[in-house]
Structure 1
Amino acid sequence: MASQVPSHGDEDPVFEWALPGLHLRFDHRDDRPVQLVRLATAPEAPSAVAPCAVVDVVTAGVEHRDSDDQGLLYSSAGQRLRYAGHESDETELRIRQRAPEFGVEVLSVFRAAGPGLQIRHTVRNNADRSLVLLSVSSALVAVSADGAHDLLWAESEWRAEGRWRQRPLSELLPDIDPPMHGGQHPRGLFSLTSHGSWSTGSFLPTGVLAGETVHSIAWQVETSASWHWEVAQTGATVTVGVYGATDRHHQFAARLAPGEEFTSVPAGLCVADGGRDAAFAALTGYRRAIREVRPVDARLPVVYNDYMNTLMGEPSTEKLLPLIESAAEAGAEYFCIDAGWYATPGSAWWVGAGEWLEAPERFTGGLSSVTDAIRANGMRPGLWLEPESVGVESALAERLPEEAFFQRFGERVIVAGNFQLDLRHPAARAHLDETVDRLVGEFGLEFIKLDYNRNIGGGTEVDADTPAAGLLGHTRAFRDWLRGVHARHPGVLFENCGSGALRMDYNLLSVAHLQSTSDQEDFRKYAPIAAAAPASVLPEQAGNWAYPAASMTLEETAFAMTAGAMGRLYLSGFLDELSAEQSALVREAIALHKDWRHRIARSHPVWPLGLPGWGDEVIALQLDTESESLLALWSRGEAAEVALPGLRGRDLKQAYPVALPEWTIRTDGETPVVELPAGPAARIFTVQR
């Protein structure tokens, strides 16, 4: 443990924190807030960043330093913070600052996590009156505004998740020649903001500044509530600001009584010696470092789920039994019964849900006879659950107290026939504890799919200064509830889902086993989603649906299975209706995935043709372990030839499918060139150095 107190006189105002793969230097002169002045991958490596304050705080009743209202930087409270000490060990650096005239104290914590840093700040009110906090940055970092970077960001929506964009930063933040305008700061800003309770409903909380000739940096916001990140022109630098909810964007506020504290949502920050793929490789290592992995997670089992393009929420004993047998024959290890198991056939699902009791009319012999059949076929049973939702016609809606539900203007929030539970309330939490304990005990569940199909809006006013603060409190309580369920049921796996991937964030993915990457039902459109997924979620958590159908050709069947094999294979479809040749392709893909799944869990993503566009006719994803890789190529258009200069000098061998024609691979010099037929068609190759 090393510590330091405020500098005075001739004391050195600089301190460093060095870790394997990370080297940080801070400046804490008496006339400015503490600045991060160096972030590099090694002591001798050049810095990836320019000097920048480590945190900014906005409080009510305090003016902004500048007159422009575009960015969140330069609040007077944040600018008046001054160093008050620091301490560090092998995993954390803690820096304390104070602004006595505003009654603000900030403890900044930098946690080492693999090749990256997890950053959070705790603001304490040291004044003798209330302090209203309007925003606090989760991470701030600046780079030189020399135009050497590209900015990468991703748009998202239901069934079209993870559509990445890459543009030169100089195009997004044009040079307006400040000297010609009296040296005034430019006001250029590029920003993304989430709204409501789908944290990834419109955009992904991840960004990259990628440079081929300079270092790259990458970041992610780790919250299931509202968030905002911005890239702003700041004189000779460009500053990245990463935030949870803010007053400006979400009408957030937190009133702190004397002595009370507020902690920002965490942010991940990585630096890489290389461009886009190096930045995402660093993010991949960081995400693995922040996960709370349990022994049961190490199995990485193949899960069959009866929903997608199959039963679509109408399970029954008669429908499930042939699916159970065919899933087991294909090689599935878990079988999850999806939505509808609690609903009387033909009834409206949503308005009556919430008690999560078996519908007695739905299963001949009862639901337990179906879970018994799953076990008899050598698989482990699972069920779908939407824990936060309560239908407006559910008896539970009358039994729980009003304060256990989200409310606005004194009324319960209703979206599509559902109320939302508030997990800060003990009655709501007790109900969900009882539900999970009962289902696990009664049916011997070893897998639970947690879904979230409603964007409930800005939040709740119950026990909160603003709805946005209430939403943040609920999402933190939900994560805490899930960790408690893990402790009581260490052998149960939990999937995170939100209408596919509309709540795909590392507030939850750090404690969940699996993430459904989409609800996309067209296997041709799933290819760009599956190929882009490892930019947002770990490959071993990327639950890519593979749903073969009897109507597919053999080439289409292989195309559909390739998406699943190149992540975390999430199997569905009427497998009992497939031809013998199709069934062989399914079994082969599952066998390949099982052979590679633990290597996939050590891999990092590479995009030999760039991150996929939604309409791209040729798509490529490589999962690289340095010594060997899996490479998938999807053809969705006319026949084409594709050169892969990033694989220069490496050997490609077709690994899947063996029963269909091999694609021709030749070399141009040492660069592999693959001849693709007209699509839809796909192949998986092993790549050796």
Structure 2
Amino acid sequence: MSSPGRYIEWKAGALDIDFFIDSEEHVYIHSIRSPGSPAVRYSMDSELDHIFPLTQLRLVGEGSTFGTSERLVFSATSSRLQYVEHKEWIEGDGTRRIDIITTDPKTDLFVDSRYSVFEGVPVLRSTTRVRNKGSKALHLESLASLSLGYLNRGYKEWWNEFEVVVANNNNFREAQWQSFDFATVGMGDVGDSDFDRPGTRAAVIKSNLGTFSTNGSLPMGALTRKDKKQTFMWQIENSGAWNWELGNIVHGLYLIAGGPTDQHHQWTKTVHPGEDFTGVTTALSVIDGDLESSFVPFTQYRRRIRRHHEDNVKLPIIFNDYMNCLKGNPNTERVTALIEPARKVGSEYFVIDAGWYSDVEGWWSSVGVWEPSSTRFPGGFKLLLDRIRQAGMIPGVWIEPEVIGVHCPEASHLPDDAYFQRRGVRIIEQDRFHLDFRHKDVISRLDSVIDNLVQNYGIGYFKIDYNIDVTHGTDVNASSPGDGMLGHRRAYMQWINNIYDRYPHVVLETCSSGAQRLDYHMLASHSIQSTSDQQEPYLYSCIAATVLTAVTPEQSASWAYPQPEYSDDLNALCLVNSLMGRIHLSGRVDILNEKQRRLVVEAMQVYKDIRSHIKDCFPYWPLGMPKWHDNWLVVELRHEKHRYIAVWRRGGNGHLDIPLGPQGLSHYEVLFPRDFSTSLSWNSDSSSLSIEIPHAPSARLIYGTSP
């Protein structure tokens, strides 16, 4: 028999979501399902021990009502939140929203839990805003925007039936997914326990610390059934600190996700009477399918939240002189030698990477002026940029705006409170100061840098890099170091969007020692993302094969750096690395032989032929998630009745059967490289494509369609 209470049945277009209000006016998410699916009303008597309030938040001085305060569940504050009202509406673009207001009668804290579902996109977006309507200041220690209990509803033996999936993300080894059964992460059935509440106090907790938002892990995770019939997937949208927790209580699994916390990030936020504060946005998909299929709704969702830019429509080819090429040491002679070869192979942008601003090679601790070096470019930087334009390419430069080197003369021109500090002392990280973009003088200075480069030099592309990691932020004009960090990150993104407002045609690339900021706080604004600084094409292939889990194809720029000393097969692999997303072309294109140059031209022309499809494609992994040392890697881009399949052979047997499923496609051909020995055959009985690649390492781009 169900507990007394009532439901809010929200028909959100691409999703149906039920909220339950119990007899004490506490509000919970009861179910998330495909539209039209039956709403199964389980016994709420048994479920109320498994599900949690819409918001998990903590106030200073208040701990948990049960268990351990190492976890975010059972917050004393959250347990008091009671329903006030809710409002549903539809935006002009079809987006459906619901605001559910709850309040804590003890403190007069009001919580607005906003949920959004974009038209045709089965992903639940959630953001939480708190407002202090009391008479005393309140001090937040955590504020999660997603709180969902009993994920295993209907499946009692969760420790046998589900597995947790995390995405490791490190320098030179980005976006590598790993699945774990619950025993491996220290969770399982523990029988009866204290207070007649069976369940372990364990949890899988993933958290980021510092200004590298994705150093160690992507702000993502998944819970998937081993029989591949259901998957929960989530992401957190912050370019600083974040935290998610997947745990067990009673017989159920729960998920909490949000921004920084005091426990993990030295984050507290004082909210004075009459003030409000908005937490970090999260997103969740729930599908009746496997892990790999979950990236379809997330790719839809990411396209929907992203700022519109023609760069994501045109997908131009970018030559950048850094990777396995000039390596941050440009001058007039070296850059000039690359311009015509870059043009001839098909480049449309030419980016001069690091070093253009420094008279010396050891510029790390002196960056920050962002004026061209007269030593490197004695004839003038403008003359060199004119040569790039005369070759039919748009010039770009590398810049690292958040830092100033300790030996830079500009370091003394800004006040101390324009920098990250702790207890009145400027933070120095790797011989660099960190700028605080909440300060008006910082914005004014960096605006003038961008204006000068765009207006006086004609720069049309900025590769915006970031290469240090300040772990806890700044306590200047902040409730805590974590609060200063979050404020800076939000101010920085406002600065980025202001650049777009002033110069809509300019392309802004986000790069952070490769992809150490691979998050959709950054990528909701930047049109293009560098996926790695990996210099070995053989290893880069696994990044190219997996990074589409974290970023849309049309934003995902992987390096292709052909070299004269590489074999033809290795150069082919190197080029295929970039064909499933965006091309960052580099390498010594100026000294390739004619055969090698033709291979690059062929790859660039193939890309130009297919890029109008890439921006609408969805990724899929027919062999499952690639592993770092797999001999074979496969990723597929699906577009209506077209398939683009990248296949890398890095070792092992030269034959592979790729299960593609009954797609109605039976014609497959090699798009690149066309003249390399390859055997393809379609097996209609098994719906699989057989491929033979005689040499390794090598790669192919396959095209599939109806005959």
Same fold (TM over 0.5): yes
Q: Does 1:154 align with 2:164?
A: no
Distance 1:402 1:581 in 2: 57
Q: Does 1:398 align with 2:412?
A: yes
Q: Does 1:97 align with 2:102?
A: yes
Once the two structures are TM-superposed, the CA of residue 173 in structure 1 deviates from its matched residue by: 5.5
| Aligned pairs for 1:573-588 within 5 A | 573-588=587-602
Q: Is the 8 A contact 2:678 2:691 kept in 1?
A: no
Q: Does 1:116 align with 2:123?
A: yes
Write the deviation string for residues 463-511 of structure 1: whole angstroms up to 9, x where unpaired.
1111111111000000001011100011101000000001111111000
Q: Does 1:28 align with 2:21?
A: yes
Give 1:164's match in structure 2, choosing from 172, 177, 186: 177
For 1:83, the equivalent position in structure 2 comes to 83
Once the two structures are TM-superposed, the CA of residue 395 in structure 1 deviates from its matched residue by: 1.6
Give 1:514's match in structure 2, choosing from 505, 528, 535: 528
The amino acid that maps onto 2:467 is N
For 1:458, the equivalent position in structure 2 comes to 472
SS of corresponding position for 1:557? helix
Once the two structures are TM-superposed, the CA of residue 409 in structure 1 deviates from its matched residue by: 2.2
The amino acid that maps onto 1:581 is K
Q: Does 1:366 align with 2:383?
A: no
For 2:690, the equivalent position in structure 1 comes to 673
Write the deviation string for residues 504-556 of structure 1: whole angstroms up to 9, x where unpaired.
11111000010000000011110001101001111111110000001111111
Q: Is the 8 A contact 1:208 1:279 kept in 2?
A: no
Once the two structures are TM-superposed, the CA of residue 184 in structure 1 deviates from its matched residue by: 3.5
Distance 1:457 1:52 in 2: 31
Q: Does 1:221 align with 2:228?
A: no
Distance 2:63 2:515 in 1: 39
Distance 1:108 1:626 in 2: 37
Give 2:331's match in structure 1, choosing from 311, 316, 334: 316
SS of corresponding position for 1:530? helix
Q: Are residues 172 and 47 of structure 1, via their aligned partners in 2, closer, same or farther at CA, if it must alter by over 3 Å?
A: farther
SS of corresponding position for 1:53? coil
Q: Does 1:546 align with 2:560?
A: yes
Q: Is the 8 A contact 1:406 1:413 kept in 2?
A: yes
| Aligned pairs for 1:209-608 within 5 A | 209-211=223-225, 212-346=227-361, 348-608=362-622
Q: Is the 8 A contact 1:116 1:271 kept in 2?
A: yes
The amino acid that maps onto 1:178 is G
Once the two structures are TM-superposed, the CA of residue 32 in structure 1 deviates from its matched residue by: 4.6
Give 1:130's match in structure 2, choosing from 131, 134, 137: 137
For 1:685, the equivalent position in structure 2 comes to 702
Q: Is the 8 A contact 1:38 1:48 kept in 2?
A: no
Write the deviation string for residues 206-252 of structure 1: whole angstroms up to 9, x where unpaired.
11122345432211111111111111002222111112110111121
Once the two structures are TM-superposed, the CA of residue 296 in structure 1 deviates from its matched residue by: 4.8
Q: Are residues 45 and 275 of structure 1, via their aligned partners in 2, closer, same or farther at CA, if it must alter by over 3 Å?
A: farther
Once the two structures are TM-superposed, the CA of residue 140 in structure 1 deviates from its matched residue by: 1.7
Distance 1:598 1:407 in 2: 47
Distance 2:228 2:354 in 1: 50
Distance 1:547 1:63 in 2: 54
SS of corresponding position for 1:245? strand
The amino acid that maps onto 2:416 is E
Distance 1:79 1:473 in 2: 28
Distance 1:418 1:172 in 2: 38
The amino acid that maps onto 2:509 is E
Q: Is the 8 A contact 1:309 1:547 kept in 2?
A: yes
Q: Are residues 180 and 125 of structure 1, via their aligned partners in 2, closer, same or farther at CA, if it must alter by over 3 Å?
A: closer
SS of corresponding position for 1:179? coil
Instruction: Determine what percentage of the aligned residue pairs are the same residue.
Output: 33
Query: In the comparison of the two structures, how many residue pairs are matched?
Result: 679
The amino acid that maps onto 2:335 is L
Distance 2:111 2:407 in 1: 47
Q: Is the 8 A contact 1:638 1:677 kept in 2?
A: no
The amino acid that maps onto 1:94 is D
Q: Is the 8 A contact 1:153 1:166 kept in 2?
A: yes
The amino acid that maps onto 1:446 is G
Q: Is the 8 A contact 1:390 1:418 kept in 2?
A: yes
Unmatched 5+ residue regions in structure 2?
Answer: none
Distance 2:183 2:308 in 1: 41
Unmatched 5+ residue regions in structure 1?
Answer: 1-9
Distance 1:112 1:433 in 2: 35
The amino acid that maps onto 1:210 is T
Distance 1:282 1:583 in 2: 39
Q: Are residues 570 and 46 of structure 1, via their aligned partners in 2, closer, same or farther at CA, if it must alter by over 3 Å?
A: farther
Distance 1:487 1:339 in 2: 26
Q: Is the 8 A contact 2:677 2:693 kept in 1?
A: no
For 1:4, the equivalent position in structure 2 comes to none
Deviates more, 1:198-207 or 1:85-94: 85-94
Distance 2:12 2:577 in 1: 37
Once the two structures are TM-superposed, the CA of residue 198 in structure 1 deviates from its matched residue by: 0.3
Q: Are residues 155 and 48 of structure 1, via their aligned partners in 2, closer, same or farther at CA, if it must alter by over 3 Å?
A: farther
Deviates more, 1:545-554 or 1:275-284: 275-284
For 1:107, the equivalent position in structure 2 comes to 112
Once the two structures are TM-superposed, the CA of residue 668 in structure 1 deviates from its matched residue by: 7.6
SS of corresponding position for 1:485? helix
SS of corresponding position for 1:328? helix
Deviates more, 1:11-20 or 1:120-129: 11-20
Q: Is the 8 A contact 1:222 1:505 kept in 2?
A: yes
Distance 1:331 1:313 in 2: 23
SS of corresponding position for 2:376? coil
Once the two structures are TM-superposed, the CA of residue 33 in structure 1 deviates from its matched residue by: 2.3
Distance 2:436 2:539 in 1: 36
Once the two structures are TM-superposed, the CA of residue 163 in structure 1 deviates from its matched residue by: 1.5
Q: Is the 8 A contact 1:383 1:449 kept in 2?
A: yes
The amino acid that maps onto 1:680 is P
Q: Are residues 69 and 524 of structure 1, via their aligned partners in 2, closer, same or farther at CA, if it must alter by over 3 Å?
A: same
Distance 2:393 2:67 in 1: 63
Once the two structures are TM-superposed, the CA of residue 253 in structure 1 deviates from its matched residue by: 0.3
Give 2:200's match in structure 1, choosing from 186, 190, 199: 186
For 1:70, the equivalent position in structure 2 comes to 70
Q: Is the 8 A contact 1:665 1:675 kept in 2?
A: no
Once the two structures are TM-superposed, the CA of residue 298 in structure 1 deviates from its matched residue by: 2.1
RMSD after superposition:
1.9
Q: Are residues 45 and 685 of structure 1, via their aligned partners in 2, closer, same or farther at CA, if it must alter by over 3 Å?
A: farther
Once the two structures are TM-superposed, the CA of residue 618 in structure 1 deviates from its matched residue by: 0.8
Q: Are residues 313 and 545 of structure 1, via their aligned partners in 2, closer, same or farther at CA, if it must alter by over 3 Å?
A: same
Once the two structures are TM-superposed, the CA of residue 411 in structure 1 deviates from its matched residue by: 0.7
Write the deviation string for residues 10-53 of structure 1: whole angstroms up to 9, x where unpaired.
99732122133211111123415211112112122567998542
TM value normalised by structure 2 = 0.93
Write the deviation string for residues 259-283 of structure 1: whole angstroms up to 9, x where unpaired.
1111111111112231112211111
Distance 1:518 1:180 in 2: 47
Distance 1:687 1:32 in 2: 55
Give 2:34's match in structure 1, choosing from 41, 60, 69: 41
Q: Does 1:140 align with 2:127?
A: no
Deviates more, 1:212-221 or 1:322-331: 212-221
